[in-house]
Amino acid sequence: MPETYDLIIRGGTVVNHDGIGRTDVGVRDGRTAFIGDLGQADAGEVIDATGLHVLPGVIDSQVHFREPGAEHKENLEAGMAGAALGGVTAIFEMPNTKPSTTTPEAIQDKLDRAQGRAAVDHAFYVGAAAENTPELAELELLPGVAGVKIFMGASTGNLLVPDDPSVLAVLKSGRRRVAVHCEDEPRMNEREGLRVTGDPSSHPVWRDAESAIRATTRLLALARQAGRRIHVLHVTTAEEMVLLAAHKDIATVEATPQHLTLAGEEAYPALGTLAQMNPPIRDAAHRAGLWRGLAQGVVDVIGSDHAPHTREEKAKPYPASPSGMPGVQTLVPIMLDHVNAGRLSLTRFMDLTSAGPSRVFGMAGKGRLAKGYDADFTLVDLKRTETITHAQMANISGWTPFDGKSVTGWPVMTLVRGHTVMRDGALTGPKIGQPVRFQECL
């Protein structure tokens, strides 16, 4: 009797721990069951992946889906639809919603809201705040929690943790890796007068490189004092890459496709406030420093920092315009375009978007295309050239900073635990996304 599987992906070029090669993948009960020649096997469903590369499911470990409290600009359903359309199989969502995600009730509310509306698997950060610091060690272990998030600068509501004693208290409360937004609030307050009305190119002058470097330097010292692992989000400066390279025993690093792709000299004249985000898009010299850090292995993860605002909000004259831009749906095509341009290898892309998030955050059963792991796959056509447009975007706000950009490399199928959730640019099947599990919380 031939072996029988629920699903066979046949004839694709698999990219995994074993290298890159053409083979088949068999799936049973939502998990990878076999990798190899399945020419004699049967399956309930067969996907012909000839000409495609089969990657471990891409994970976006930083998104802002704005629900609850700002659903006019994004929500969980639309955000996760965009993830699936972009080849992303799991997301970690940030806590700066209204109300902030700082309590067990707020976490459960997000999990409840996602049920039946989520195209992909998901987890939610708990935000560090003065009032919940003593409870963070318990909150970080709740089901569906990706970890704790600290805003050292640039937050809304009650989530700003600007001073060293408060940051240290958070770092001493719990044991999982803490994700941190590093901008120095006192320096930014001092430099607020450098903002020029109507000129978004003054954004990186106000929120300068030194504000990021100071905050990251402070964080590293506090993390050593507390004995806590940290994850520095959306690093934007060449100096931080050098600094963080000296602290890789405790610090992991995220870069974004936006900061790796855009440079202030071109972005602000072309995009205006659509290029405005925190920390800012900086000049080409800093962008080159980020690529050096990526090439040297300092960068562990690529996260999109998907954070939409409506075009009406973005049209307000700077600095009344809000910071943030969409990104979850364009992470894969933008980075595959860099792969095709020779800036990183396909295996490095896989490490940054699958193995990296799994390793950094201790995900259970995800991040590898290997027997026994969840059958999460991103199928891509590396030769396909497409133009990114506003019209393609699933986000409620309906725009992308990469509108009109031609890219080579495109996601064509997204599978979550063996279920096809996107095929050829269309969502398929029911919304089967579930909370992500983490090894330290099992």
> Degrees (nearest 5) of the Cα angle 352, 213, 192?
120
Instruction: Compute the Cα dihedral for 352, 357, 359, 364 and give only its sign.
Output: negative
Residues 272/226, Cβ–Cβ less than 8 Å: no
Question: Rounded CA gap, 415 and 426, in Å?
Answer: 13
Q: For residues 49 and 35, is the Cβ–Cβ distance under 8 A? A: no
Angle between helices 209-226 and 164-171 (to 10 degrees): 50
H runs (alpha helix) in 185-230: 185-190, 203-206, 209-226
**Contacts for 61 with CB less than 8 Å, ≥ 6 apart:** 91, 92, 146, 254, 301, 303, 357, 360, 361
CA torsion sign, 160 to 145 to 65 to 54?
A: positive
d(CA 54, CA 346): 11
The answer to whether the CB of 344 falls within 8 A of the CB of 101 is: no
In whole angstroms, how far apart are CA 334 and each of 80, 248, 288, 349?
18, 27, 17, 11
> Please, what sign has the CA dihedral across residues 423, 425, 426, 431?
positive
**Residue 371 has which token pair?**
């027997």
Angle between helices 238-245 and 209-226 (to 10 degrees): 20
Any idea what the Cα angle at residue 30 is, between residues 24 and 31, rounded to 5°?
A: 55
What single string gives the DSSP state of each residue in 39-78?
TT-EEEEEEE-TT-EEEEPEEEEEE---TTT-TTT--HHH
Residue 322 token pair: 């809000």
Per the residue annotation, which of 121, 184, 208, 305 is the catalytic one? 305
Whether 305 is catalytic = yes
Residues taking part in catalysis? 305
